[in-house]
Amino acid sequence: SSQPCPPCPRIFPPAQTSASHWHSYLGVIVSRERQRLEHFQRAEDILLTLLEGVHAREPRFLVDYARNLEAFEFALCASEDAVTMEVPLRIDGDALRVLACQPGDTPAGHHPGLGTFCLEVPSPGTDLEDWTSTVDVMERGHGARCLVPGKVLRHLKELLVSAIVRCQRLFLLQPGDLSAENLQEDAMELSLLIRGGWKTIRFDIVPVVRRQQEPVQLKGQQSDRGFPKGSLWKAMEEAHFVPASPHCWRSSTHLPILKLLQAVDMLKGPHLDSLRLLDQLRVQDWEEEAEKGGLTFNHLKMVLLWSMELFPSPEDWQDLEGSVYRVLVILLRCLATRHLPHFLHPEENLFQGEALDLTSLYHKVESFAQDPRRFLRFHFGLPARTDNWLADPSTRALLHLPAEDRSYWDTAYFDILLSQFQVYRIQDSARRSAMSH
């Protein structure tokens, strides 16, 4: 379908914000990362000591020492979000049969969620009997022995508590190093607060079943477009199943998404710097009131990955300001349409079911896009005001075009938005002509 041709007049050109403003703001953010990494590593050392104690008592829980992805994410993120730590089970995941959870698979009153699975254990000859139970599975027509996440979690929790007590007796933990008060009875992760230096970090520990999977054909995405060659396949070569309920498992994309971010870090250009900068603004100026949910670092990660695909040319990522705006226009579009598709599962809307005031968030992000200079400074106390500026009606009309029309989720559409903000600067003649069709 034909794209609307935007009116020419534009207001509040971001060119008023010099490159030095962008880079000095980023410089402060980056200067904190080394210290954040040191805090993470100290806390991680304590956690690994506990997990080694768990493994010594129960060899079916493995210790994964390759934690570079979690450290990488923690250093990038401006807020004190919980760190998800997966504890792999010593299971031949490839021998398990993955079956969709059915209403009959769970006790009365428990409804399996969408995208949840039973993991059928081959029998006999496994050492998993105490972690399984018989479940009526529709595909089988009879009972099957399935791995029960609730039993695995209960066992892991008992062993963690035992490891904490042992470490305290051996004086391996100092007073205040660790708090287990968040270990909830029915939670799908085991939360520990661990002190690393003067910073306390929350770790959400989850048991995980890993198995190889065939390369997934990503819907609507071109192979590796915008990413280093092979990185999409590499990120998706292993499926990770984590507890969804006491009875069912779900596929987790936590580590695959981090692998993609790490691949982005290999590219030349300020791709991740744009994420760093917007995440700092999220924490500093875009936070919502305590009872309301706000934008999360996970939301911004997903928007960056979409911007990589929708702006695949190195020409798009030449400077920090232009890079930030490539992420911003996609974020604004998602907020305006109340729809943020998951990068690996585009049918899933990450704004669905979340207590987000998307209208308020949209105004905050839009006011930054119109006049970034007011926000590119560190301050304590109240965030910068967003109620004393006038939005450009033509830009707002473009952003609110119907979400159902997929022609408004392509490079030409977002190029029009970039030109509205006067940060286009693309010489590619094919790209330029596509905007007017």
Tokens found for residue 185:
């009875």
Q: Is the pLDDT of residue 300 over 80?
A: yes
Confidence of residue 408 (pLDDT cuts 50, 70, 90): confident
Sign of torsion over alpha carbons 219, 220, 223, 225: negative
Q: Mean pLDDT across the stretch 378-397?
A: 62
Q: Are strands 83-88 and 249-251 parallel, antiparallel or unpaired?
A: unpaired
Residues 6+ apart with CB under 8 A from 15: 422
Q: What is the pLDDT of residue 260?
A: 94
Specify the pLDDT at position 81. Answer: 83
> Does residue 389 surpass a pLDDT of 80?
no
Mean pLDDT of the chain: 83
Instruction: Kindly report the number of other CB atoms within 10 A of residue 39's CB atom.
Output: 19
DSSP β-bridge partners for residue 86: 206
- Rounded Cα–Cα distance for residues 426 and 431 (Å): 8
Residue 60 scores a pLDDT above 90: yes
pLDDT for position 108: 43
Instruction: Write down the H helix ranges in 32-77.
Output: 33-57, 68-76
pLDDT for 113 beyond 60:
no
**Gap between the Cα atoms of 136 and 251, Å rounded:** 21
Helix (H) or strand (E) holding 154: helix 149-169
CB neighbours of residue 390 within 10 Å: 8
pLDDT at residue 202 in the model: 94
Residue 13 clears pLDDT 60, i.e. is over it: no
Residue 6 scores a pLDDT above 50: no
Q: Specify the range with the lowest mean pLDDT, choosing from 248-262, 289-303, 359-373, 419-433.
A: 419-433
Is 50 exceeded by the pLDDT of residue 11?
no
Question: Is a pLDDT exceeding 90 seen at residue 186?
Answer: no
Check: CB of residue 189 under 8 Å from CB of residue 250: no
CA of 414: how far to CAs of 54, 186, 406, 409, in Å? 50, 44, 12, 8
CA 13 from centre of chain = 31
CA distance linking residue 326 with residue 178, whole number of Å:
41
Checking if the pLDDT of 343 tops 60, the result is yes
Q: What is the pLDDT of residue 390?
A: 54
Strand boundaries in 230-370, DSSP class E: 238-243, 249-251
Pairing status of strand 199-212 against strand 83-88: parallel
Is the model's pLDDT at 387 over the cut of 60? no
Looking at residue 207, what is its pLDDT?
A: 97
- pLDDT tens digits for range 222-244: 567 888 888 888 888 899 999 99
8, pLDDT greater than 50: no
Query: DSSP strand E in 213-307: where?
Result: 238-243, 249-251
Q: How far apart are CA 13 and CA 279, in angstroms?
A: 22
- Nearest-angstrom CA–CA distance, 229 and 239: 20
Range of lowest pLDDT (15-29, 48-62, 132-146, 147-161): 132-146
39-43, 78-82, 148-152, 186-190: the lowest-pLDDT one: 78-82
pLDDT reading at 371 higher than 50: yes
User: What pLDDT shows up at residue 401?
Assistant: 82
pLDDT at site 223: 61
pLDDT at 203 > cutoff 90: yes
Long-range Cβ pairs for the range 180-187 (8 Å, 24+): 183/157, 186/246
pLDDT band at 109 (very low <50, low <70, confident <90, very high): very low
* pTM confidence score: 0.86
Q: Which two tokens stand for residue 220?
A: 């609507």
